[in-house]
């Protein structure tokens, strides 16, 4: 029941759950605790509204309802001094249309089936001095929108995450506490454009979150996660940043070092023990991961030593990786150069790649070499470390290990022999890592041969060419029919040699 207090209608007293708080420019106050069984308790559908619960409680029966809900875009809404318990969602702002100037403070939310706060598309919001705990999913979820500030909130003992930021721009976090959440205390996705300092902590461990950390060096940190804390270093939207000489352990549900939307950011001499992923790059370009150690006491499913997601130009060099599910994980069009890494005890793959990742570097080359497979089966998973070899003037692929490699490709290899106008390409139907063996025993590869070598270009240091397909020939020299899995003896080699080497054969 709603009751007007005073002729000016400046204050509306709430004594039971109402369908709609629909009068703009009003202050609504609870004068007692109220409850609901299945529907939402209080719905806000007006602008310039303040709801002051005066410390009273809104409760329900943990169904899919909400204590306080708004399903349309609103402006200038304040919720304060509430206790909300035993409903599906404590506070739920839903819908794709934006909300503006939303404040939620001094509110306690606990024992909910889903999220304590589920807030979509908020712009210019302030969440302060709230206590959210024992929810069935996330304590505080903020999704979409921009310019939100979270100050002095506590999000403990939630079934999934304490505070979860999803696809939101420009978040400031200060003095938030996230303890004993089942998955992680803090999680962020997509935008990563936050101002988060070390006053925020999960299980007593500060958040090390570096945004726009251009030219900074982060070194000497030791993070031992309590399994549900953060236990990682995040570098976001940065240029020329460096993480080095750090020790991170026990983040079994997350990354040790995460590099997001950054350029030329390097990770050196970092030790990762019992983390789900050692070093993770996403949406980033260039940078080196060198002399790092990733070592788990066991090999959890889905774990990786080094992981690149939609990233280009990273150089993974001289790292030691052991006891992870996949040594190096390449996803979504990543191009990563690998050299001198030691990868052991990986139940799934040493090098794993899928879903549109078209470019792979060479495991045992010290220069910029890769193969680009334009028609690769994106659902394929194979240990590329044992499938190909590239080095100065040579690209060799053993397609007997996977028939999907018998396809079109673009090959780029370092090439410093002789002068570019004098280049002959050779093809041989046996797998080898010796370029001289290919020149001695193979055949010329031109636009008129099978396989055909086309679009040949050379700039003095790099040779690039394309092949329409990898032909299938048996190791004994007899032709093998061209269909997947035709014979275990299939081995494909492409070789590039300089003019001087070619003249030696002629």
Q: Where are the domains of the chain?
A: 1-202, 203-357, 371-506
Taking all residues of the chain, what is their mean pLDDT, rounded to a whole number?
78
- pLDDT band at residue 369 using 50, 70 and 90 as cut-offs: very low
When pLDDT is averaged across residues 433-445 and rounded to a whole number, the result is 79
Which is more confident, 86 or 227?
Answer: 86
Reported in sequence order, the residue ranges of 152-253 that DSSP labels E, i.e. its strands, are 154-156, 161-166, 169-174, 177-178, 184-189, 193-196, 201-202, 205-206, 208-211, 217-219, 222-224, 233-236, 242-244, 247-249
Is 370 in a helix, a strand, or coil? Answer: strand
CATH class of 1-202: mainly beta
The per-residue pLDDT for range 27-60, each reduced to its tens digit, is: 999 999 999 877 889 999 999 999 999 999 999 8
Which is more confident, 420 or 140?
Answer: 140
Q: How far apart are CA 182 and CA 174, in angstroms?
A: 22
Q: What angle do CA 302, 315, 280 make, to 5 degrees?
A: 30
When pLDDT is averaged across residues 387-415 and rounded to a whole number, the result is 64
pLDDT at 327: 87
- pLDDT band at residue 506 using 50, 70 and 90 as cut-offs: very low
When pLDDT is averaged across residues 12-36 and rounded to a whole number, the result is 90
Does the structure show a pLDDT above 80 at 373? no
203-357 matches 1-202 in CATH topology: yes
The per-residue pLDDT for range 206-259, each reduced to its tens digit, is: 889 999 999 999 999 988 866 545 668 999 999 999 999 999 988 877 789 999
pLDDT at 338: 73
User: Beta partners for 44?
Assistant: 21
Does the structure show a pLDDT above 60 at 489? no
CATH class of 203-357: mainly beta
When pLDDT is averaged across residues 165-183 and rounded to a whole number, the result is 93
- pLDDT band at residue 195 using 50, 70 and 90 as cut-offs: very high
Token pair in block for residue 387:
């499938």
């Amino acid at each position: 029941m709603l009751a007007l207090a005073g002729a000016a209608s400046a204050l509306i007293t709430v004594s039971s759950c109402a369908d709609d708080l629909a009068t703009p420019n009003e202050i609504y106050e609870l004068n007692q605790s109220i409850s609901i069984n299945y529907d939402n308790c209080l719905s806000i559908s007006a602008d310039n509204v303040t709801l002051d619960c005066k410390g009273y409680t809104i409760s329900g029966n943990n169904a899919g309802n909400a204590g306080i809900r708004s399903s349309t875009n609103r402006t200038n809404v304040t919720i304060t001094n509430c206790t909300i318990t035993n409903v599906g969602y404590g506070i739920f702002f839903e819908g794709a249309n934006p909300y503006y100037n939303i404040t939620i403070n001094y509110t306690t939310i606990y024992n909910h089936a889903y999220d304590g706060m589920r807030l979509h598309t908020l712009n210019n919001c302030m969440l302060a001095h709230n206590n959210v705990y024992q929810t069935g999913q996330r304590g505080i979820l903020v999704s979409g929108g921009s310019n939100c500030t979270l100050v002095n909130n506590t999000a403990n003992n939630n079934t999934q995450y304490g505070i979860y930021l999803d696809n939101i721009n420009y978040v400031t976090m200060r003095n938030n506490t996230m303890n004993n959440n089942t998955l992680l205390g803090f999680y962020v996705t997509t935008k990563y454009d936050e101002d988060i300092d070390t006053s925020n902590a999960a299980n007593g461990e500060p958040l090390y979150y570096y945004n726009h950390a251009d030219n900074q060096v982060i070194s000497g940190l030791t993070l031992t996660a309590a399994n549900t804390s953060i236990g990682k270093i995040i570098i976001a939207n940065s240029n020329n940043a460096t993480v080095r000489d750090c020790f991170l352990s026990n983040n079994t549900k997350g990354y040790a070092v995460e590099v997001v939307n950054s350029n030329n950011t390097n990770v050196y001499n970092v030790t990762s023990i019992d983390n789900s992923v050692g070093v993770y790059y996403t949406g980033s370009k260039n940078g080196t991961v060198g002399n790092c150690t990733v070592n788990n006491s066991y090999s959890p499913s889905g774990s990786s030593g080094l992981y690149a997601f939609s990233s280009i130009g990273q150089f993974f060099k001289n790292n030691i990786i052991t006891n992870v599910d996949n040594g190096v994980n390449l996803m979504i069009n990543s191009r990563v150069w690998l050299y001198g890494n030691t990868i052991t005890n990986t139940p799934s793959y040493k090098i794993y790649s899928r879903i549109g990742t078209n470019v792979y570097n060479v495991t045992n080359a010290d220069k910029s070499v890769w193969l680009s497979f334009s028609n690769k089966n994106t659902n394929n998973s194979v240990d590329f470390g044992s499938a190909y070899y590239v080095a100065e003037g040579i690209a060799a692929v053993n397609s007997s290990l996977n028939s999907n490699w018998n396809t079109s490709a673009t090959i780029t290899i370092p090439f410093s022999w002789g002068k570019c106008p004098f280049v002959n390409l050779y093809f041989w139907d046996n797998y080898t890592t010796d370029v001289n063996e290919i020149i001695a025993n193979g055949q010329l590869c031109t636009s008129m041969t099978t396989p055909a070598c086309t679009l040949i270009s050379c700039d003095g240091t790099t040779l690039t060419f394309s092949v329409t397909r990898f032909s299938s020939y048996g190791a004994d020299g007899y032709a093998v029919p061209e269909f997947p899995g035709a014979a275990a003896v299939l081995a494909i080699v492409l070789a590039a040699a300089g003019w001087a080497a070619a003249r030696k054969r002629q």
